[in-house]
Structure 1
């Protein structure tokens, strides 16, 4: 009889332990925009393995009119524990009351680079004159529909004094990586944040545009006000912004923020 009750007691402890594990483990819904995605794809599984939580991740631009854009996803009521996006776009969501202000963390800085199709000559864009020459002679130019593309469209061409000459042959590419349309031969040169260019096969990274005409985009992350798992989300953000993550951040084409 004692053995019987001991067995029941032991089974009860095991059941409670399993239940506790199930309660502690959470499936976090993460929305991330392209610039930080390469780093996240490496860091996310490390976080999941160390915590037991799982990550359900969807990709989308930080801004724009496409249904996939993170602000539009949130507006439709799609669930999210974490949003990773361009800093000023995140700030707008905070102003709208959709993301908790105190949850905001700085993740990385991203700079704009250029690609050509594999096998094509690599032009020199290390100087402003070199970049200007490439743009003037390129048959077609592609840029993204996110922060880097907005800068190129509204500011870079004007600063270089070539807006009229390149306007007709320069196009904003929505939703998909700019390097993919260069790799396919649809466009001769493409511009996007370096971390979004590097992973694409079939395109060769030429380099970053010169610092004097560069636009640095800060990536940040936050927790939506209705996040199902805010505590676990906070732990994920702390990990992504930690000193331990910076080697991966830099290896994927991003720059650590000055705080790190």
Structure 2
């Protein structure tokens, strides 16, 4: 069976198992997927790691196209992702309905977990500067290098976890309070492109077309993404 290697941002981790198996069933091509935050993937690609297809934030993909690592033609935006806030299951859901409520909730939390290398962490770091609470939040933040911030709710290290909704959904035993208010959001766009030195270029193109097709839409939506 032909195999293709895919490196993907964590945002697609929820949708990929069923998308990969549907693709494999119809084409006989196996997808070997590895997931990490975009900034970690960019470093690995620059260090020479090989892949056939990559899914990154749009900004990350554009950098890779600019460096000649990813083919510009055929690159496709797959989905938008919104950042949300979660609590441990059974905890009261705090008010995050508007900017002042969100500010109060973040200041009142004992600690807030957010990621350093993912798109959500980059965005959240800018957001707390914008609403003027960066010093207070960072003094009590749990910064997660890789993986899912909501796991810090289960370990008791944090009261609130901030990440893409599609990533929060990967963790059992937590509840998503909701998205950060829309007027404060800068949704991440996840985009796919074929590597310039792909060993399985044709198979990678087929997978890319499938991921960008209407067939993938319900699966993306169910995983917390907006196709």
* TM-score (norm: length of structure 2): 0.95
Alignment gaps of 5+ in structure 2? none
- 1:32 paired residue number: 8
- 2:193 paired residue number: 222
1:195-254 CA-partner distances (Å, limit 9, x unpaired): 000120121111101011112000001111110011110110111111111111111101
Question: Which aligned pairs between 1:170-249 and structure 2 lie closer than 5 A?
Answer: 170-249=141-220
Query: What is the RMSD computed on CA atoms of the aligned residues?
Result: 1.2
Question: Which aligned pairs between 1:106-117 and structure 2 lie closer than 5 A?
Answer: 106-117=77-88
Aligned length: 226
How far did residue 115 of structure 1 move?
Answer: 0.6
- 1:7 paired residue number: none
Larger radius of gyration: 1
Larger relative helix fraction: 1
CA contact (8 A) 1:183 1:201 kept: no
- Whether 1:140 and 2:116 are equivalent positions in the alignment is no
CA contact (8 A) 1:113 1:193 kept: yes
- 1:149 paired residue number: 121
Query: Could you say if the C-alpha distance between residues 76 and 161 of structure 1 is closer, same or farther in structure 2, counting changes exceeding 3 Å?
Result: closer
- 1:165 paired residue number: 136
CA contact (8 A) 2:88 2:173 kept: yes
Alignment gaps of 5+ in structure 1? 1-24, 64-68
How far did residue 77 of structure 1 move?
Answer: 2.7
CA contact (8 A) 2:36 2:147 kept: no
How far did residue 51 of structure 1 move?
Answer: 0.2
- 2:36 paired residue number: 60
Bigger drift between 164-173 and 142-151 goes to 164-173
Matched position secondary structure for 1:101: coil
Bigger drift between 161-170 and 121-130 goes to 161-170
1:33-69 CA-partner distances (Å, limit 9, x unpaired): 1112211222111001110011111112110xxxxx2
Q: In 1, Cα distance between the equivalents of 2:172 and 2:106?
A: 23
- 1:96 paired residue number: 67
Q: In 1, Cα distance between the equivalents of 2:138 and 2:32?
A: 40
Bigger drift between 124-133 and 87-96 goes to 124-133
* TM-score (norm: length of structure 1): 0.84
Structure 1 segments (4+ residues) deviating >6 Å: none
Matched position secondary structure for 1:119: coil
